[in-house]
Structure 1
Amino acid sequence: MKEIEKLLLAYIKSYKKVMIPLSELEARVPGDVSYRQFAEAVHSLEQEGILARVQSHGENGKTPSLAYTYRIKKKALWQTLHDEIQRFQLTVHPVLKLGAYLSLPEEVWQQDRPYIEKIDAYLKTYGLPNEDVPAPERAYELVGDEKWIVEGNGKEVLERIQLWERLKIIPVADPLMLAVNPNAFQHEPHFHLIVENKTTYQALQPVLSDTFFTSLIYGAGNKIISSIIHLEAQLHLEGQAHRLYYFGDVDLEGISIWYRLHQKIRAEPALPFYRALLQKPFFPGKETQRRQNEALTAFMAYFSEAEQHHLREMLAQGGYYPQEALTTFQVRHIWRNASWTAD
C-alpha cells in the first residue's frame, strides 16, 4: 500500500460519517502530491471495497475522474483491520496472542502496537524470563519505560496479549506494617494475626510477646490484599508453614476485605474476637453498604447457626460492629488466653 493510500485510509477510519466529500480527502494529502497520484490512491480504496461512489452526486470530470462524494463501507474497514492484525500475528513471537484486538476498537490496536513490537523484539532476543522481578524492572526490559506497568496501561496490554502470567512480574505493593515476636521464630507453623484498624493494632502490639504468634500485622483496610505477598520475605521465613487469622470490622465492607484476602492466601476469621463482639449491642449506620453474597456466605460458614442468625439480623438492620467495640483490656485478654490451635 502506497503512502498516500495509507494516509487516506487512516483518515477514513477516523471519519464518523458514512458519506465523505472528495474535498475532505483532497485536504488530507500534502501539496506536492499530484492529482494523478491522489486519484490512483482513491481508486485503490474503491477496488478494495472501502469506498463506493455516490453516483447521484456526480463526478469531477478530470482524468482520471473521481466522484464528488464517496460512501465509506465500514464493514470493509473492519476487514482491513482484521487482515492487518492477522498478518502481524504471523510475524511475532508465538507466545504473543493478538486475537483480543479483533473485537476491540482500532484505536486500541494502534495505541498498543508500538509496545507489542517492543515486547516481540524482547521475546525474540531473550525468550520468556525464568526469574521473578519487580514490575518496574520488567517494564524497562520490555518497553524501555519503568513506569509503563505500574502507572501506565502495561498490565492491560500484557493481559490482552496473554502474557501477564508468563512474564514473572512481581506486583508493586506497599510493605507490610507489622510487629514481630522473636521468641516465636523457632517454631512452626508460624501464627500471624492481621487486624484491620490501627487502634486495635496499637492495643495488641505491647502484648505480642505474651503470645506464641510470630507477628501482628496492621491490615490498613484494603491495603492488606496486595501487601500480604511480602509476608514470608519480610520475615525471612520463606518455605515455612504459616497460619493466618484476620480480625476486622463486622460490616459488609470488613467482611469483603477478609474474603478477598482469604481468596489470595488462606486467612481464617479470628473467631475469639468476633464472638466477643457478638455479645455486645451492635451499632447502627451501615444501611447503604453493598451486599456481597459470596463473601457473606463464606464468612458465615465459620459460625454456629445461632451466631449466623444474629449476624443476618444485625446486617439486615444496617448494623455493624467496629473492632473498637472491644476495649484494650478485652482484646489483650482474648489474644493471650483464647485457644488458637484447635481446627
Structure 2
Amino acid sequence: MDKIKKELIAFGKRTINLNELEEVIKPYKHTYEDFSSTILQLEEDNIISMVKSKGRTTRKPSLAKQYRIDKSALTENYHKELQYYRAQLDPSISIDKYYGNPSDWKTDLPYILKVDEYLKKNFYPTDKVPAPERSYELVGDEKWITENSGKSLLEKINVYDKLNIIPVSDPMMFAINPLKLAESKQLHIIVENKTTYQALLPVITETEFSTLVYGSGKKVIKSIEQFELQYPIKATHQFFYFGDIDREGINIWYSLTKQLEVKLAIPFYLECLKKEAALGKGYQKSNGEAEDKFIRFFPENVREQISTLLKNGKYHPQETLNTNELQKVWRESFWRN
C-alpha cells in the first residue's frame, strides 16, 4: 500500500478515473478482488473520495468511476513518518530533501538506518579509506557507493564528505611544471584530447601553468576526484578546460563544474572559432542548460556564432589548431585574473 500511496502523491492531477487507478495499482495487485479491496481501503482511509457526478460501476464490489485524491492526507502521514525518523536518527543525518520528494524514501530508508547504526557505533571515522572498504563497513556491500546509489544517497543526507572516503577512479594523467610548484596561486589546464596534450607538453615550462592534464574525454569527470591526493600541494588552485566545441565537449566541461570551479580556456576557443567549422556532430544530444552556461562565458559578438554552429550540427575539434598555434596561444595569452 505504501508504494501505491507514493504513486498517488506523484500523480499529476487531483482527480483520477478508474482506468488511471488501474494503471497505478496494476503492478502491485493482479486480480479484481485485490484491486477493488485496495480502492475501498483508500476510500475508507479518506485518501480518495468519489466524484459523485460520475457515478459508480455496476460490478461488485462497486467502485466510483472517478475519484478525488486528498494529497494533504497522503503527505500528512508521510511527513509524520519523516518527523519520527528525524527524532530517531543521528542528528548529523539530514532528511530534509525527502520532504519535497517522497519517491525515494522507502527505497533509501533501509540504507539510511544502516548509516545511522554505523555512526552511533563508530562516530565519523578519522582515517581515509577507499570507497569499497567504507561501503562494506556502512551497509555490507562493497559496491554500494561506487556502482549503485550509495554516493548520491550519502550526499543527499549530508554525510558523504564527513566519512573520509577515498574515491575509486582511474588516476589523473598530467604533466607538472616544476617552475610553478611554489606558487601560492596555481593554474591547471585540462585538455580533452591526446593530440592537444602532446602538442602543448613541450612548452609547459614556458607557461604560467603548474599542470597540464590529459582529460581523456569523459574519464576526467571521475579522475578529477583524485587531484588532491595526486597533487598534495598547498595552494589556491584554478582550473581551466579546453575541449572540442561540440555538445559532447560542452557536457564534459559542465559535468566538471558540478564538482569544482572550472573556467573555460577562452583564448583557445576563440582561436578555434576563427577556423572553418566541420560538419558531423548533429547526432549528439543537446543539454540546454550546459550550452547556455558555456555560451555565457564568451564575448557577446561570438555567442550567436557558437549557438548557430551547435544548432546546425557543426563543431570545432581541438585538432583544428596545429601545434604551433596551440603553443603560441598557451604561451602568449593572459591567464591570471
Instruction: Report the TM-score, using the length of structure 2 for normalisation.
Output: 0.67
Distance 1:121 1:340, change over 3 A: same
2:119 is aligned to 123
1:270 maps to which of 250, 253, 265: 265
Q: How far off is 1:325 after superposition? A: 0.8
The structural deviation recorded for 1:131 is 5.5
Partner of 1:341: 335
The answer for the alignment partner of 1:191 in structure 2 is 187
Letter in 2 for 1:304: P
1:293-341 CA distance string (max 9 Å, x none) = 33223222332222223222322322110001111222122222x2233
In the TM superposition, what is the alpha-carbon distance from 1:175 to its structure 2 partner? 1.5
Displacement of 1:90:
6.5
Preserved CA contact (<8 Å) 1:118 1:142: yes
Question: In the alignment, is residue 252 of structure 1 matched against residue 241 of structure 2?
Answer: no
Q: Secondary structure at the residue paired with 1:214?
A: strand
**2:167/2:225 contact within 8 Å kept:** no
Q: Percent identity?
A: 40
- CA offsets 1:273-295 (integer angstroms, 9 cap, x no match): 11211111100112233333332
What is the total number of aligned residue pairs between the two structures?
279
Query: Does the CA-based 8 Å contact 2:131-2:168 persist in structure 1?
Result: yes
Give the match for residue 31 of structure 2. Answer: 17
Unaligned runs of 5+ in 2: 1-26, 35-40, 46-60, 62-75
- 2:236 is the alignment partner of 1:237: no
* Structure number with larger C-alpha Rg: 1
- Structure 1, unmatched stretches of 5+, are 1-12, 21-45, 51-69, 71-78
Alignment of 1:186-335 (within 5 A): 186-238=182-234, 240-335=235-330
> What is aligned with 2:65?
none
Residue aligned with 2:144, SS: coil
CA gap of 1:287–1:205, structure 2 versus 1, over 3 A, is: same
Give deviations 1:28-51, integer Å, cap 9, x for gaps. Answer: xxxxxxxxxxxxxxxxxx9xx99x
CA contact (8 A) 1:81 1:106 kept: no
- Relative distance call for 1:16 and 1:158 in structure 2 (3 A) is farther
Structure 2 distance, partners of 1:127, 1:89, is 18
Q: Report the TM-score, using the length of structure 1 for normalisation.
A: 0.66
Structure 2 counterparts to residues 93-132 of structure 1, below 5 A? 93-95=90-92, 100=98, 103-104=102-103, 108=107, 113=110, 115-130=111-126
Counterpart of 1:252, as a letter, is: R
In structure 2, do the counterparts of structure 1 residues 164 and 177 end up closer, same or farther at CA, with 3 Å as the change threshold? same
Q: 1:124 to 1:16 in 2, by over 3 A?
A: farther
Do the aligned residues in 1 keep the contact of 2:128 with 2:165 (CA within 8 Å)? yes
Query: Is the contact between residue 128 and residue 166 of structure 2 (CA under 8 Å) also seen in structure 1?
Result: yes
